[in-house]
Amino acid sequence: MSDSTTKILYCRCAFSQVVPVETKEQVLEKLCESERDFECVSDLCEMSARRDERIGELLRGVGKVKIAACYPRAVKWLFHQAGIEFPDDDSVEVLNMRDSDAATVMNDLLDE
């Protein structure tokens, strides 16, 4: 069950057209309506390419993290490319907005 110790990270995938716009918009809208705290980043791909030091902060100092982005393997590679160790345990869950609909992503994000 998700609780306040679970950090939610939402990637807007602003520079890529691989995630359906409708899915991204619906997930963001539902996150806002949920009144849960979450962090929104413009684009994890761009952060990784620039080796933005903030990318490492996204996983630091928290228990569980749920990331709404695209393919889990791609997200893991983005952190690796940025020089950030991606945990091999179940402390980080990547939810695939590229292949899943908004309702499925939201159910997983909020454990509904």
Place of tokens 């902060």: 57
> Where is pLDDT greater, at 66 or 61?
66
Average pLDDT, the chain: 90
**Domain for residue 54, yes or no?**
yes
Gap between the Cα atoms of 21 and 91, Å rounded: 28
pLDDT of 41-51, one tens digit each? 999 999 999 98
Gap between the Cα atoms of 16 and 77, Å rounded: 16
Per-residue pLDDT, 2: 44
**Domain for residue 1, yes or no?**
no
Nearby residues of 99 by Cβ (< 8 Å), 6 or more positions away = 71
pLDDT bracket for residue 4 (50, 70, 90): low
**Amino acid, res. 1:** M
Tokens of 110: 């909020």
* Torsional sign, CA 50, 89, 107, 65: negative
3-state SS class at 10: strand
**Domain for residue 2, yes or no?**
no
**Domain for residue 70, yes or no?**
yes
CATH code (residue 14): 3.40.50
**Domain for residue 37, yes or no?**
yes
pLDDT bracket for residue 103 (50, 70, 90): very high
Rounded average pLDDT over 71-95? 91
Q: Rounded to two decimals, what is the model's pTM? A: 0.90
Domain count across the chain: 1
Range of the domain at 34: 7-110
